[in-house]
Amino acid sequence: MGSQHGRAVRPLVVLAILSGMLALTAAAYPLGAEALSVLVPADVTTSVDISVRLQAGEGSGTVTLLRGSDVVGQQPSAEGTALFANVSLAPGMHSLTARLDGAEGGQWLSPAVSVYSWGAPAQPTWITPAKVRVVSPVALRAQAGASTATLTLEVNGSAVRSIACAPGQIVSLGSARLAKGANILSVIATSRTGATNSVSRSVMRYEWPYSTCIVIDKSDYRLYWVSGQQLVASYKVAHGRNNWTPVGTWKVLAKYKTDPHSVYGPRKMRMFKRVGTAGHYRYVFTRYAIHGTNNPASIGHQASHGCIRMYSSDVLRLWPQVPLGTYVVTRP
């Protein structure tokens, strides 16, 4: 009889233990957003009212508002909403959760909610330009600091453009044309509070040999098209095998439309070489030219008989922009 009673009791004990484990497990799981949720704007600029909503039927107890692991405050709550008024959040990102400690036992957590508190912006950080002597137009990038919603580029005190951004974001501010000599570049950070912070630096505009010219750097296999001391475009080129292309100063004094399938590609510009002494310069015909190619694989190499080869698509863009009489400078 005793053994039968023992056999009958043990399943009841096991069932009770399992029921308790299930209750603990259920209490440990977060409730759905509809059952217990934190209501707060994603961005705040001052102290803020934070509500915690409880779904009807969830019962009463104590609601604790948590910022990370720190307790912001506690409110007794029946079914409905617990209000935490005028909560002050330090500038930066915060994760808020609510915990319900039930009057009859059990504990539930809401899903975490992220909120960014805006304060005075941190100073932005320069990315480019990194050098003091720069080509115009110059490309600029900066990194936004904390509490930054907008970066504004100024050149010599005049606003060029403003770019919306997020705190910590690396922002391309586009390019800016520079005046002759020293220029002051400034990046101004603005917070959603309206507060600002800035960083400035002085740069010197690089001066090309002529206001309008073509400059060919043989070592870099690059052709630079310059107008009004502003860099308009840069193209990859080939020059003479065995480094035959002479270094010097030239003028474009003849332009041709050529057979697109020929070694010259669709366009050619004849380079006349400068000879003589200062005050007595003259420009003489040569066999050197800037032209396209039917061998695009040669670009970027010493491959020609001395001419400057361009991709045919590039020479088609450049050819109509270059007036007769344009200076050409070939550099080592």
User: Which residues lie below 8 Å from residue 157, measured CB to CB, with a gap of 6+?
Assistant: 184, 186
Cα 105 from Cα 27, distance rounded (Å): 9
* 270 part of a folded domain: yes
- Do 244 and 322 belong together in one domain? yes
User: Which residues lie below 8 Å from residue 232, measured CB to CB, with a gap of 6+?
Assistant: 225, 226, 321
- Do 249 and 320 belong together in one domain? yes
CB contact at 8 A, 265 and 171: no
Question: Which pLDDT does position 78 carry in this prediction?
Answer: 65
* 14 part of a folded domain: no
Backbone angles phi, psi at 198, to 5 degrees: -150, 165
* 302 part of a folded domain: yes
Catalytic residue among 5, 213, 291, 305: 291
- Choose one of 84, 117, 150: the last residue of a domain: 117
Instruction: Tally the domains of the chain.
Output: 3
3-state secondary structure 189-230: EECCCCCEEEEEEEEEECCCCCCCEEEEECCCCEEEEEECCE
Q: Where are the beta strands (DSSP E) in 218-323?
A: 222-227, 230-240, 248-257, 267-275, 282-284, 289-291, 302-304, 308-310
Check which CATH number belongs to the domain holding 138 and give it: 2.60.40.10
Percent of the residues in the chain that have a pLDDT greater than 70, as a whole number: 88
Cα 52 from Cα 79, distance rounded (Å): 11
* 71 part of a folded domain: yes
- Do 171 and 228 belong together in one domain? no
CA angle 62, 64, 67 (to 5 degrees): 175
Question: Which pLDDT does position 26 carry in this prediction?
Answer: 34
- Do 64 and 89 belong together in one domain? yes
Catalytic residue among 94, 213, 239, 307: 307
- Do 290 and 246 belong together in one domain? yes
One-letter amino acid of 17: I
* 65 part of a folded domain: yes
Whether omega for the bond prior to residue 11 falls within 30 degrees of 0, making it cis, is no
State yes or no: pLDDT of 17 exceeds 50: no
User: Which residues lie below 8 Å from residue 45, measured CB to CB, with a gap of 6+?
Assistant: 117, 118, 191, 192, 193
State yes or no: pLDDT of 23 exceeds 90: no
Cα 309 from Cα 112, distance rounded (Å): 62
Question: Which pLDDT does position 107 carry in this prediction?
Answer: 84
One-letter amino acid of 2: G
- Do 158 and 264 belong together in one domain? no
- Choose one of 172, 189, 205: the last residue of a domain: 205
- Do 161 and 113 belong together in one domain? no
* 82 part of a folded domain: yes
Q: Could you tell me whether strands 302-304 and 230-240 are parallel, antiparallel, or unpaired per DSSP bridges? A: parallel
- Do 228 and 327 belong together in one domain? yes
- Do 226 and 327 belong together in one domain? yes
CB contact at 8 A, 203 and 133: yes
- Do 112 and 161 belong together in one domain? no
Check which CATH number belongs to the domain holding 284 and give it: 2.40.440.10
pLDDT level of residue 85 (50, 70, 90 thresholds): very high
Instruction: Please tell me the least confidently modeled range out of 51-55, 202-206, 233-237, 327-331.
Output: 51-55
- Do 220 and 285 belong together in one domain? yes
* 6 part of a folded domain: no
* 12 part of a folded domain: no
- Choose one of 69, 89, 117: the last residue of a domain: 117
Place of tokens 């005075």: 120
pLDDT tens, residue by residue, 131-168: 999 999 999 999 999 999 999 999 999 999 999 999 99
| Residue 132 belongs to domain spanning | 125-205
- Do 137 and 181 belong together in one domain? yes
Q: Is 305 a catalytic residue?
A: no
**CB-side exposure of 106: number of CA atoms within 13 Å?**
18
Whole-model pTM: value is 0.74
User: Which residues lie below 8 Å from residue 120, measured CB to CB, with a gap of 6+?
Assistant: 91, 147, 191, 193, 195, 197
Three-state secondary structure call for residue 182: strand
Question: Which pLDDT does position 127 carry in this prediction?
Answer: 96
pLDDT tens, residue by residue, 261-295: 999 999 999 999 999 999 999 999 999 999 999 99
User: Which residues lie below 8 Å from residue 9, measured CB to CB, with a gap of 6+?
Assistant: none
